Amino acid sequence: LQTRLQAGQGYGNTLKCVLTVYRNESLAGFFKGMSFPLASIGIYSSVVFGVFSNTQRFLSQLRHGDPAAAPSLPDMTLASIAAGVVSVGIGTPVELVKIRLQMQTQPYTKANFKLKSTVPGSTVYRGPIHCLRTILQKEGIAGVYRGNVAMLLRDVPGYCAYFIPYAVFCDWITPDGSISPNPFSIWVAGGVAGAVSWALCTPMDVVKSRLQADGVYLNQYKGTLDCMLQSYQNEGLKVFCRGLMVNTMRGFPSSAAMFLGYELSLKAMKRCQTDTNP
């Protein structure tokens, strides 16, 4: 829904988008492009959380001589920026394949667009591997990383608004005297952080989605700035809020589960290490 609302045409609001996708593509339409992100989400999340945690420990060691020292706000900010930069290298190809698969049935009707040989609305890619191989063959490595600047502008501030609110909110709702937050506190703090982060980075998410969807049938945008200018000229400022509700609603449960799984996994591994090496 997020991709269709941000990069598609004729979907209107969220409810209309749901009805249109279901009417035209049945339930299968809601799961297009899911396999590639599903297969890579474990690696992606592990790298992002690992970079954030290790950068924090490195900065604490550098500043205080103790990697376990509580990180300061500047340390968390630098760690979030590092996580955002690294995420682009892994996440851009995954996002590109997902969006191309989701948008390949999108009809295009504007006569002034130069269409490719493929008929709009027909299937271009047979699956994620075929999609990635086709992009590599026709567009090269640069094509695989299409939209990386927009994704960088989305993820760097996005992860700052992800990890920092989580740490602050988690600390705020944890009862005094507790050594570590309970699972409910982690779940709530993670959900709030996810909702805040996605709400703030939705404008650049719109630009990224449009750049990556561009290329299935059209070559409309020359780059990130051109995409922003064309989108604003054609649809006004409201275009940068497309998918805001979907992003925010999705951000809470997915981030709540992500942080809860991360924190519980860390506790379990630390417990195993303690049992193994008393």
User: With 50 as the cut, is the pLDDT of residue 113 above it?
Assistant: no
Kindly give, in sequence order, each residue whose CB lies less than 8 Å from that of residue 49, ignoring residues fewer than 6 positions away.
83, 262
**CATH topology for the 146-277 domain:** Mitochondrial carrier fold (1.50.40)
Beta-carbon contacts of 179 under 8 Å, excluding residues fewer than 6 positions away, are none
Confirm if 109 and 71 have CB atoms less than 8 A apart: no
In this prediction, residues 59-86 reach a mean pLDDT of 90
Predicted confidence at residue 216, as pLDDT, reads 66
pLDDT of residue 64: 81
- Residue 243: pLDDT band (50, 70, 90) is confident
Domain ranges of the chain: 146-277
Strands (E), 84-222: none
Distance CA 236, CA 259 (A): 36
93: exposed, middle or buried (C-beta count within 10 Å: 0-12, 13-18, 19+)? buried
CA distance 26 to 105: 13
pLDDT at 117 over 60: no
- The confidence score (pLDDT) of residue 172 equals 86
Task: Name the least confident of 28-32, 76-80, 111-115.
Answer: 111-115
7, 49, 152, 182 from 269: Cα distances, Å? 42, 15, 32, 17
Quote the pLDDT of residue 21. 72
Average pLDDT in the chain:
83
